[in-house]
């Protein structure tokens, strides 16, 4: 199904928001996200749904084919925005700072999440990032919600059309290689849900591990490190033995610190990874 424009507030929008979605609904969350976007203080926007396209990188590229904006905003279909200033806040640095290439909000757990989600969000890596008071270099900017200029997006080669995993670090790496900073903007956040029960936690960890194994088998040269928390200073690529030792070390820390959901996630990830190494794709 081709991408479709579902909203535009003028004929020459400054910003194109592209939302990849399997069914255009996501259990009703797409409607909530559309309402959030229409209530933003930044008013020169169009909203494009890219429905049923796979993988997600390809879905975003399909959406960009009909995008007219000078800036692109990618948002996952299970996200909601923190307040009415999110678009303004993530676009402004791209307009005023030549050194910044990609921006995003902090990632928070929705306020109506259940206790399990709040608990798992604090224990699963990269599920939460702190709201900042100043522009902060960060590896936590992701397709959950990010902004990039159309010119830079084209310059770095758009999204990967074929990667099943790792599109976030792949795009971040290419933006940094082009000489630009990637930052979280101040006083800005979006909500992204964590697993809401043990079954979804196990499934989430298993799928993460399985698709990481796919990338190791078929796109190893595009595997980039993704540290937890706000940092812009880290080694882009690390060896498999290093990653294994780091995973074992983290599991040991989780056991000592009594972080059971983090440990369960890592165990499920490991099972998924081993399965992904052996299965036929």
Kindly report, residue by residue over 212-271, the tens digit of the pLDDT: 999 999 999 999 988 888 877 777 888 888 888 888 888 898 989 889 999 999 999 999
pTM for the model stands at 0.94
CA 78 to chain CA mean position, Å: 11
> In 3D, which of 4, 2, 15 has the Cα closest to residue 150?
15
Tokens of 21: 């979605």
Q: What is the largest CA-CA distance in the chain?
A: 58
First vs last Cα of the chain: how many Å apart? Answer: 24
Specify the CATH class of 4-191 in words: alpha beta
| Domain locations in the chain as residue ranges | 4-191, 198-278
Name the token pair of 235.
């080694």
Average pLDDT over residues 113-128: 96
pLDDT averaged over every residue in the chain: 95
> pLDDT tens for residues 178-220?
999 999 999 999 999 999 999 999 999 999 999 999 999 999 9
pLDDT tens per residue across span 133-156: 999 999 999 999 999 999 999 999
User: What pLDDT is recorded for position 1?
Assistant: 67
């Amino acid at each position: 199904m081709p991408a479709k424009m579902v909203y535009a507030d003028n004929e020459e929008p400054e910003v194109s928001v592209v939302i990849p979605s399997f069914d255009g609904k996501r259990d009703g969350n797409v409607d909530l996200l559309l309402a959030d976007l229409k209530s933003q203080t930044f008013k020169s926007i169009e909203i494009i749904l890219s429905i049923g396209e796979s993988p997600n990188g390809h879905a975003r590229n399909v959406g960009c084919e009909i995008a007219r904006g000078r800036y692109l905003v990618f948002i996952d279909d299970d996200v909601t925005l923190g307040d009415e200033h999110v678009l303004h806040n993530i676009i402004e640095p791209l307009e005023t700072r030549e050194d910044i290439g990609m921006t995003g909000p902090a990632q928070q757990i929705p306020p109506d999440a259940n206790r399990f989600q709040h608990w798992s969000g604090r224990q699963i890596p990269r599920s939460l990032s702190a709201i900042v008071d100043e522009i902060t270099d960060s590896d936590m900017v992701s397709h959950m919600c990010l902004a990039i200029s159309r010119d830079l997006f084209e310059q770095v080669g758009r999204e990967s059309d074929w990667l099943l995993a790792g599109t976030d670090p792949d795009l971040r790496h290419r933006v940094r290689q082009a000489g630009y900073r990637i930052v979280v903007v101040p006083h800005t956040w979006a909500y992204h849900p964590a697993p809401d029960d043990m079954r979804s936690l196990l499934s989430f960890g298993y799928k993460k591990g399985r698709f990481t194994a796919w990338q190791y088998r078929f796109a190893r040269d595009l595997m980039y490190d993704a540290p937890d928390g706000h940092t812009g200073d880290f080694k882009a690529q690390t060896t498999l033995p290093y990653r294994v030792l780091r995973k074992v070390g983290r599991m040991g820390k989780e056991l000592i610190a009594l972080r059971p959901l983090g440990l369960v996630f890592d165990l499920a990830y490991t099972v998924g990874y081993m399965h992904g190494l052996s299965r036929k794709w």
